[in-house]
Amino acid sequence: MNTASKFKASGMMLMIAFLLVLLMCLASGSQTPGGDGNLTNELQWNLLANDGGATVQVSSDGENGAENISTTSAAMFVFDFQNETVPAESEKILMGNDTAKIIKLKADDISNDLLSYAVVQSPKHGMISGTAPNIVYIPNKGYVGNDSIIFSARDQIGNQQNFAISIDVLEFYVPPSVRILSPFDGDIFTAFEDTLSAQIPLRAVASDGPASITISDYFEQYETEIGTEACPIIDDSCSGTDDNCRITMFGDFSAGRHALIARASYSSGRIINSSPITIIVNPPEPIPTISTPLNGEIMTSPADITITSKVDVITEGNTVTNVEYFENSHRLGSAIDNVSPYTFFWENVPSGVYNIQAKATDDMGNVALSPSVMVIVVPPKPLSKSDLAISMKSSPDPAPAGGLLNYVLTLTNRGPDSATDVFVEDYLPTELAFISYKASQGSYEEGLWNVGSLTKYRSAKLVLTVQAPSEDVPGQIANTAYTYGAELDPDNSNNHVTAYTRIRSTSNSSPE
């Protein structure tokens, strides 16, 4: 702390004109002469905060012209200094329960020393965080009553003062409320094909222990009560808490726009309504089906493929507005005329394996995809012939859920000529995860086994190791492989093969 001390000496009283002042002390000072006659000399020393005292020696010699007096005098002065205590202000705070309060500690120092703070006594009914002088107090959940915190403020030379923050936590009144948890406002659903309605789970919550909650549907200006669920009985310790009654029910909703309101009824006779939410139920989606080409059909490149489909519209009055065709997620185009059968011509198709899908859109904006159809386009056949035949086995069968499964593919050239540019395409089902492969010749990558050349009456093998799905799969998993080469194949019936594998849950397997 900085303390200033001033010393004043009168020339008349001392009868001496001070001519020289020597300051000998730990601090520094300054002097201003007072002039002739009555002299007033004012001495000032600025001391640092850690100076406990100072010693000043004052001496003078000179001559007074009027009195012809020559004198020399000296005096010694000793000063003691006391550092002042840090002033800190206690405070009383009012706040609501289950809320946070920012508290600014009020302490100052006359010399603007940097102050440090410490917690002397923590609150008994809450917790504090933050960095002093700005702290945050949060009472324990549900606590109402008094609490206090004691802090200390310390300056740079060790002076310390304790001060208290008294806190009165008041209970805020929160009126009872009810709201719909799900569905959310604006959610869109699609009606089922068989019932032409959507079954939607409804969840609501109310506070302050209501007797029951009712959910109503406002559709086409009419109110329909979906259902009422009684709330469980709670003791007094639970009353007044938020969200202490939750109910779930199911409702069937026809196509259209519905406004839902939850209503909480209390034993006192009080009834509270929630804010409404709006949901939209669309009619069932159209059902497209590709008629041609047939699934697994083999064509020679360059192929001209005519794609046709039909679309079943479930809801009376709905119409199909567009039918598009896609090949391996690549858009080919839309049907020529928007009438059934919906036709599209795909021309000059190069060799390869293609999965074709139809996408139908109706006037309500509903969109649906057809099951995919696989088409195989092979290169033109030269005059030489090679009868390629493929077989496939899966092991084990049934395969354990989440376990490994092997597909063994055997490709044989039955002649009469050697085969060149031989490929086998095996795009694994989506339920399976590819692990590794082992081929007797050639390479396998992303569903394509590049066999190369295969001498007549010779065979090649490929083993694909995959991982089965971790859960049971209804029915069987079908894996299909196709083969083709550069030569004319006199028998296309043995150019493709499908292996069917069952998946067995490990939890259902019996011990051996």
Please report, for the domain that includes residue 154, its CATH number. Answer: 2.60.40.10
pLDDT at 358: 92
pLDDT at 208: 84
Give the count of domains, the chain: 5
Question: Does 482 lie in the same domain as 391?
Answer: yes
pLDDT at 116: 83
Question: Does 411 lie in the same domain as 447?
Answer: yes
Last residue of a domain, one of 170, 191, 208: 170
Closest by Cα among 46, 49, 48 to 6: 46
Helix (H, G, I), strand (E, B) or coil at 462: strand
Question: Does 409 lie in the same domain as 301?
Answer: no
Question: Does 349 lie in the same domain as 407?
Answer: no
| Residues of the chain falling short of pLDDT 50 | 1-37, 39, 49, 62-73, 81, 236-242, 509-512
pLDDT at 10: 39
Is residue 512 situated within a structural domain? no
pLDDT at 1: 38
Question: Does 103 lie in the same domain as 58?
Answer: no
pLDDT at 259: 93
pLDDT at 442: 95
Q: Which domain holds residue 305?
A: 287-378
Question: Does 94 lie in the same domain as 73?
Answer: no
Question: Does 274 lie in the same domain as 291?
Answer: no
Question: Does 51 lie in the same domain as 102?
Answer: no
C-alpha–C-alpha distance, residues 512 and 343, integer Å: 57
Is residue 215 situated within a structural domain? yes
Closest by Cα among 468, 478, 475 to 500: 478
Question: Does 131 lie in the same domain as 22?
Answer: no
Last residue of a domain, one of 133, 154, 170: 170
> 240: alpha, beta or left, given left = phi > 0 and alpha = psi -120 to 50?
left
pLDDT at 382: 64
pLDDT at 64: 44
pLDDT at 58: 52
pLDDT at 350: 93
pLDDT at 57: 55
C-alpha–C-alpha distance, residues 43 and 57, integer Å: 12
Closest by Cα among 88, 147, 74, 84 to 117: 88
